[in-house]
Chain A
Amino acid sequence: MFEYFLLQVLNGLVTGLIYALIAAGLTIIFSVLKIVNFGHGALYMLGGYAGYYAIQLLGVPPIPAVFVAMALTFVVGVIFERVMLTPLYSQKVDRKDEYAIIVTFALFMVLENAAIVAFGPFNKRPPSFAEGAVHIGLLTVTYDRLVAAGFAALLLIGLSLFMQRTSVGQALDAVSQSRDAAAIIGIDAKRMFAVAFGLGAALAGGAGALIAPIFSLSPTMGDLPSVQAYVIVVLGGMGSVPGSIIGGILLGIVEGLGVGFYPDANRALAYSNAFGALLLIITLLVRPTGLFGRAHLRME
């Protein structure tokens, strides 16, 4: 029984690291821009296809293709922020929260439907990062999952270091805490908004490219992960990058254990998202700001 428990925990950890990567991008956008990016799942999908075509058309090896995907989604993110989100920073828009919801939701709709036309309706799958699997007792983990989880962990560590040790990261943190205070010390908040949205988009795109050999590519591949990302962001505490990392890993493990141990085996898999929701509810009852959340954040 203990070995089976361990199997589910290990598998959940691998899945959770990828969840965390998606959620970290969403968190950065939220913490700096104070908006919920409803287009995050579509950027994740776009990254997956970018990686695929980098491999198929340009001959880029699978792992460098993840960086190509991140670069492309970073650019898309920055362009979107510059074109569509700048009205948020002026007095042109009265209802800023609603405006942000509508434009990011539009990003999702446009990208998803454009993907059906541009990439076709049929599922695609890039080549594996590495063929084969590692066997640990009863557990078999494919190298694809290990590479994706390991790469996700490295990116998350890199992100944490970037946020803590670089001037741009500290500027992002400063803007996330107070735009006015950041402006007083000479930080260009508008530039940071573009960086934050681009960085968030790049993390989503990287996650999409990492997950592609595991779950395949389809124009709708971002629908479910984006919902899970919202759960993680609230679970970890809105605006907290470490919170989203811990939240993602926790969600992956809880979903795995839920499916593995729920008494009604026939319904366990269908309830996998419900286990995450239950975790969220319990966490919010105990800690209304989430695991590492700050006080309520709103658009300034």
Chain B
Amino acid sequence: MRPIKRSHVLAGGAGLLAGAVVPRTFALAAEPIVLGWVGPLSPPGSYAAGQEMKWAAQLAIDEVNAKGGVLGRPLKVLYEDTKGTPDQGTAAMQLLATQKVAAVFGEFHSSVALAESQVAHKYGIPFLGTDVWTDKLTAQGFPEFFRVCPSNSLIYTMVGKWATAAGFKNAAIMQEATDYGQGAVQVLSDIFKQHDIKTNVITVELSQQEVTPEILRLMNTSPRPDIFMAIVSGASAYNIVREACNSNFAPTAQTALYNGGGPALEKELWENDGKCAVNLICENVALPKTKLNSIAKRFVATFQKQFKRPPTGTAMESYDCVGVLSAAIAQAKSTDHKAIISAMERLKYTGSRGTYAFSTSHEPAWAFHQFMTAPVMLIQYDKLNQSPDDAPILYPRDWATVDYLFAKPTA
């Protein structure tokens, strides 16, 4: 028998040590699963929203990788800036297609996602839309496209029901000239027409800064609108809210003020609009504070700590996209595109915004691959510097935290 040498003991110890950390080391050493991300990170797109989505996505990726990745492999994301333009979105998706990504997620602008979905469809790449609301996206019936956010029909049917229940008779709607804005207003207009609510639609470019002449025009129409709805997802919504308020148009006792599209949920609302945002009504694509699960609470705390700002519903959607795709890949046990799509159709995944499942019904057309129970609610700020989580919930009524449908300003 050969004597045991010191070097053998060391080698054996090293082997044991290596064996003890095999799963984690393997995961880190294995070839990563590559996901693609698309969204606006520079002008003319809504780069603020894109940045928030990217932060949330990376936070989720880091968490998944810290737990050993998916199928024993780490996740890696290739971030592509689409600048909020369809041509850049198409180019980004083409580039990602050459990078052999397992799936793509992201996007904030509906019109860009429409262009990207064409490319994803061409190459058969699963594409999970983060915050793109136009009905057209899922109505295309592409097997590759799924959506975690609510569609325009889901949101604005609810808004229409609320406005009808609240008794509004004369609506002025300022719509951004995009697929999102026009689609949203189409849904609203149809409902308002059914209920004899007079509707005056004004189209505005996202880059528009000066809106006072239009506000003056609306103030001088007879009868004066009893609700002014700015369906504007860009930061220009802050100007519109401020000008409407400074002109004594809305929110006032005669005219309620609504903003659709998301900017009213950012903390910058208060820096930009101050007391003008008190009594502002808006939709929030998150769950009520009382219904947040442990995943949501942990995400909110981590996001707040890391980025020094509370996450919006859009950030939660982005965070959940990574969870949905990770779960789908794990369920498919493969990064094959068709296997992932099939897994997503059967998926039940609990994220920060509830349990995700994607409809396979084509009735109505936009329901296909839509997360049909995506949370959405209407809130109305009643205090300065209020967080959306703390604002009174007006609608749906089973989530409402107040007994009124909307509060009129007293002064």
Interface residues of A (CB under 8 A from B): 4, 7-8, 11-12, 15, 112-113, 116, 121-125, 133, 138-140, 142, 215-216, 218-221, 223-225, 255-260, 265-270, 272
| A14 CB, min distance to chain B CBs, angstroms | 9
Of chain A, the residue at the smallest CB distance from B51 is A121
Beta-carbon contact of A272 and B213 below 8 Å: yes
Known: A122-B266, A269-B203, A270-B204. A116 touches B42 (CB 8 A): yes
Collect the chain B residues with CB atoms within 8 Å of residue A140's CB: 246-248
Beta-carbon contact of B239 and A215 below 8 Å: yes
Known: A113-B42, A122-B268, A142-B246. A255 touches B210 (CB 8 A): yes
How far, in whole Å, are A113 and B41 apart by their CA atoms in the complex?
10
Beta-carbon contact of A11 and B213 below 8 Å: yes
Beta-carbon contact of A8 and B208 below 8 Å: no
Secondary structure type dominating chain A contacts:
helix
Collect the chain B residues with CB atoms within 8 Å of residue A257's CB: 213
Collect the chain B residues with CB atoms within 8 Å of residue A15's CB: 210, 212
How far, in whole Å, are A121 and B210 apart by their CA atoms in the complex?
21
Query: Which residues 65-92 in B have Cβ within 8 Å of A in the complex?
Result: none
19 new A-B contacts at CB < 8 Å, known A7-B220, A255-B213, A269-B213: A8-B213, A11-B213, A116-B47, A121-B47, A121-B50, A124-B271, A125-B238, A138-B216, A215-B209, A216-B239, A216-B272, A218-B235, A223-B207, A257-B213, A259-B217, A266-B203, A269-B204, A269-B211, A270-B208
Of chain A, the residue at the smallest CB distance from B267 is A122
How far, in whole Å, are A8 and B50 apart by their CA atoms in the complex?
37
Collect the chain B residues with CB atoms within 8 Å of residue A124's CB: 268, 271-272
Of chain A, the residue at the smallest CB distance from B48 is A121
Known: A125-B271, A125-B272. A265 touches B217 (CB 8 A): yes
How far, in whole Å, are A123 and B212 apart by their CA atoms in the complex?
20
Interface presence of B196 (CB below 8 A): no
Contact of A11 among B200, B201, B202, B212 (CB under 8 A): B212
Q: List 10 A-B contacts (CB under 8 A).
A: A15-B210, A112-B43, A138-B219, A215-B239, A216-B235, A223-B44, A256-B213, A260-B213, A266-B200, A269-B203
How far, in whole Å, are A123 and B216 apart by their CA atoms in the complex?
25
Closest 6 CB pairs of A and B: A259-B213, A121-B48, A220-B43, A270-B203, A269-B214, A256-B213
Collect the chain B residues with CB atoms within 8 Å of residue A7's CB: 216, 220
Beta-carbon contact of A12 and B204 below 8 Å: no
Collect the chain B residues with CB atoms within 8 Å of residue A219's CB: 43, 47
How far, in whole Å, are A260 and B47 apart by their CA atoms in the complex?
32
Beta-carbon contact of A265 and B248 below 8 Å: no
How far, in whole Å, are A136 and B295 apart by their CA atoms in the complex?
54
| A7 CB, min distance to chain B CBs, angstroms | 5
| A163 CB, min distance to chain B CBs, angstroms | 28
Q: Could you mark each residue 25-52 of chain B with 1 if its beta carbon is under 8 Å from any beta carbon of chain A, else 0?
A: 0000000000000000011100110110
How far, in whole Å, are A48 and B345 apart by their CA atoms in the complex?
50
Chain B: interface residue total (CB-CB under 8 A)? 37
Collect the chain A residues with CB atoms within 8 Å of residue B239's CB: 215-216
Interface presence of B62 (CB below 8 A): no
| B7 CB, min distance to chain A CBs, angstroms | 53
Collect the chain A residues with CB atoms within 8 Å of residue B50's CB: 121
Most buried by B among A116, A125, A219, A257: A125
Interface presence of B205 (CB below 8 A): yes
Collect the chain A residues with CB atoms within 8 Å of residue B248's CB: 133, 140
Beta-carbon contact of A270 and B212 below 8 Å: no
Q: Could you mark each residue 250-269 of chain B with 1 if its beta carbon is under 8 Å from any beta carbon of chain A, else 0?
A: 00000000000000001010
Collect the chain A residues with CB atoms within 8 Å of residue B202's CB: 265-266, 268-269
Collect the chain B residues with CB atoms within 8 Å of residue A8's CB: 213, 216
Interface presence of B177 (CB below 8 A): yes
How far, in whole Å, are A124 and B267 apart by their CA atoms in the complex?
11
Collect the chain A residues with CB atoms within 8 Å of residue B43's CB: 112, 116, 219-220, 223
How far, in whole Å, are A7 and B200 apart by their CA atoms in the complex?
22
How far, in whole Å, are A259 and B214 apart by their CA atoms in the complex?
6
How far, in whole Å, are A201 and B344 apart by their CA atoms in the complex?
55
Collect the chain A residues with CB atoms within 8 Å of residue B216's CB: 4, 7-8, 11, 138-139, 260
How far, in whole Å, are A215 and B217 apart by their CA atoms in the complex?
20
Of chain B, the residue at the smallest CB distance from A257 is B213
How far, in whole Å, are A218 and B201 apart by their CA atoms in the complex?
27
How far, in whole Å, are A121 and B263 apart by their CA atoms in the complex?
13
Collect the chain A residues with CB atoms within 8 Å of residue B204's CB: 269-270
Beta-carbon contact of A123 and B207 below 8 Å: no
| B181 CB, min distance to chain A CBs, angstroms | 11
Collect the chain B residues with CB atoms within 8 Å of residue A4's CB: 216, 220
Of chain B, the residue at the smallest CB distance from A271 is B203
Beta-carbon contact of A272 and B51 below 8 Å: no
How far, in whole Å, are A224 and B206 apart by their CA atoms in the complex?
11
Beta-carbon contact of A138 and B220 below 8 Å: yes
Collect the chain B residues with CB atoms within 8 Å of residue A260's CB: 213, 216-217
Collect the chain B residues with CB atoms within 8 Å of residue A266's CB: 200-203
How far, in whole Å, are A112 and B217 apart by their CA atoms in the complex?
34
Of chain A, the residue at the smallest CB distance from B175 is A266
Beta-carbon contact of A268 and B238 below 8 Å: no
Beta-carbon contact of B272 and A123 below 8 Å: yes
How far, in whole Å, are A223 and B210 apart by their CA atoms in the complex?
13
Of chain A, the residue at the smallest CB distance from B219 is A138
Contact of A272 among B210, B219, B247, B272 (CB under 8 A): B210
How far, in whole Å, are A25 and B177 apart by their CA atoms in the complex?
32
Beta-carbon contact of B268 and A123 below 8 Å: yes
